[in-house]
Amino acid sequence: MATLHYGFFCAPERPFFLSFSFLMGVIGCVLPTVCKDFDLPSFRYFRMSIFLGMVLSGSLPWAYSVYLKGMTNTLSFIAPISKSGLAYFLGVVVYGHRFPERQFPGLFDTWGHSHQVWHVAVVAGIYYHYQAMVHFFEARYTFGCLSEYGAFERYVQDQGQGRNFSL
C-alpha cells in the first residue's frame, strides 16, 4: 500500500487503489479464519491462489500507470520494489509446488521444507519492501507530487543518471 501511496500521491485514483489493496489484505486475513476447510490439503491450491492474488493485486494500479505514463517510466519507478514482489511470488510458488520435499521425500521433513522456504521468502520480501519504501519516501520529498506534470519524468530521469535516494 505504501507503493501506491507514493506512486499515486496526488492522483484522484489513489483512494480506489488503496481501497482495493486493503480489501485484498482483508480477504487474505479473514478467509483463513472463517473458512473451516482452508487448512485442508485439498484446499492447497485455493490457499496458493489467495496468496498469489494478494501479490498480484498490485499489478492493477501499475497497469494503469503504464497507460498514463508509459512502460519505461512505470518500470523505472517500480524497480526498487520489484525484488520484494519477486521474493513473495517465488515463496508462494515454492510452497505451492511443495519443493523440495516432493522431489526428495524424507530429506526435508524437519529443515528446509517448502513452508519454511516460504517464510524465509516473506521475510526477504519484507526487507526489500522496507528498502524500497525508504527510497520512495526520500524521492517523494525530493520531487514533490509524482502525479504532477513532469515530476514523475524527472524522477525517472534522475534514476537513469545513477542518483541514489536510499540510506
Confidence of residue 162 (pLDDT cuts 50, 70, 90): low
> Once rounded to an integer, what is the mean pLDDT over residues 58-62?
80
Name the average pLDDT for the chain. Answer: 80
Closest CA to 156 of 38, 57, 72: 72
Closest CA to 138 of 101, 105, 164, 100: 164
Q: What is the pLDDT of residue 153?
A: 64
3-state secondary structure of 111: coil
Per DSSP, 109 falls in state: S
More confident residue, 150 or 37: 37
Q: Annotation-wise, does 113 bind a ligand?
A: no
> Once rounded to an integer, what is the mean pLDDT over residues 70-74?
84
Q: Annotation-wise, does 97 bind a ligand?
A: no
Q: What is the pLDDT of residue 166?
A: 40
Closest CA to 155 of 67, 81, 73: 73
pLDDT at 128 over 80: yes
Q: What is the pLDDT of residue 122?
A: 95
Question: In 35-70, which residue ranges form alpha helices assigned H by DSSP?
Answer: 44-56, 59-69
> Once rounded to an integer, what is the mean pLDDT over residues 60-83?
84
Per DSSP, 35 falls in state: -
Which of 104-108, 132-136, 140-144 holds the top average pLDDT?
132-136
pLDDT at 105 over 50: yes
Question: CA-based Rg of the chain, rounded to a whole angstrom?
Answer: 18
CA distances, 145 to each of 83, 134, 139, 149 (Å): 24, 16, 10, 9
